[in-house]
Structure 1
Amino acid sequence: MAAVTFKGNPVTLVGTEVKVGDKAPNFTVLANDLSPVTLDDSKGHVRLISVVPSIDTGVCDAQTRRFNEEAAKLDNVKVLTVSVDLPFAQKRWCAAAGIDNVQTVSDHRDLSFGEAYGAVMQELRLLARSVFVIDSNDTVTYVEYVSEGTDHPNYEAAIEAAKAAK
Structure 2
Amino acid sequence: MTSEVVAAAPVPVPGRAQRVRELALARQDLRGPLIPILHAVQEELGYVAPADVAVLADVLNLSVAEVHGVVTFYKDFRRTPAGRTTVTICQAEACRSVGAVALAAHAQATTGCGFGETTADNRLTLEQTYCFGNCALGPAVQVGDKLHGRVTPTRLDALLGDAR
Q: Which has the higher contact order (CA 8 A, sep 6+)?
A: 1
**Structure ranking higher in helix proportion:** 2
Same fold per superposition (TM over 0.5): no
Which of 1 and 2 has greater Rg? 2
TM-score, normalised by the number of residues in structure 1? 0.38
**Structure ranking higher in strand proportion:** 1
TM-score, normalised by the number of residues in structure 2? 0.39
